[in-house]
A = this chain, B = another copy of it.
């Protein structure tokens, strides 16, 4: 594990990477997303775990994205993800619709190193009808007619997320957001921004260990204070609802989005690197 500057962390995401991102309320790596846009990354294949928020909308609007696999794209109370919706309408974005537990389950399959995992429900949904990569099989444990969905393992190239802190071993603390652990375990490696570095070993502290993702999975870390903003971080700072609402309004138009990018992303390297 190495500690890098934010832009160096962003440089570890190659064009075309299959990149897993958490939604806005789950330690979303907003500062890294902005750095990725500044570095002009292209053809990302994103996975919203299990949904997509502002970060995905920014990357789509900035032209960095080839496809998005997700259960939903939404800004929460602020409504539709505007650039995502516009790209779907324009046909410029490949959307691979899923349903939340299917994303968790496919990642759990990768986490365990098994090629598939079953999931109840979903049969009869058009989500399934549009997923030729998903199979329906007969439950092998009953002689009854019992069709069940099986999902192929989903192994992202990279999981990116924000955490409260990292230690020198690359262990990072995400607290109760354990869906991030599944995502990190399932991915080839993780890139993590943190509020701060701490000394010692987080896994040696019985109080902290349960909320830790082991450095085994972490390729590199960058300090990005308030790096989830405008998302929030557990009880450290709340989401900036006013900002998200303003974004939702402004990004309805291409021009508004361009203005937002110019103001908050392209000229913000100094502030994100702080």
Instruction: Output the residue of A139, A148, A174, A210 with the most chain B CB within 10 A.
Output: A210
A274 contacts B by Cβ under 8 Å:
no
Q: Residues of B contacting A119 with CB < 8 Å?
A: 112, 114
Asked whether A140 and B137 contact (CB < 8 A) given A105-B112, A118-B114, A176-B209, the answer is yes
A116 contacts B by Cβ under 8 Å:
yes
Counting every copy of the chain, the complex holds 2
Find out whether the CB atom of A140 lies under 8 angstroms from the CB atom of B116.
Answer: yes
A196 contacts B by Cβ under 8 Å:
no
Q: Residues of B contacting A137 with CB < 8 Å?
A: 140
Find out whether the CB atom of A152 lies under 8 angstroms from the CB atom of B141.
Answer: yes
Beyond the given pairs A112-B119, A114-B118, 15 more chain A to chain B contacts, judged by CB atoms under 8 angstroms and listed by A's residue number, are A105-B112, A108-B108, A114-B117, A115-B118, A115-B139, A115-B146, A116-B139, A116-B141, A117-B117, A135-B141, A137-B140, A176-B206, A176-B209, A206-B234, A207-B211
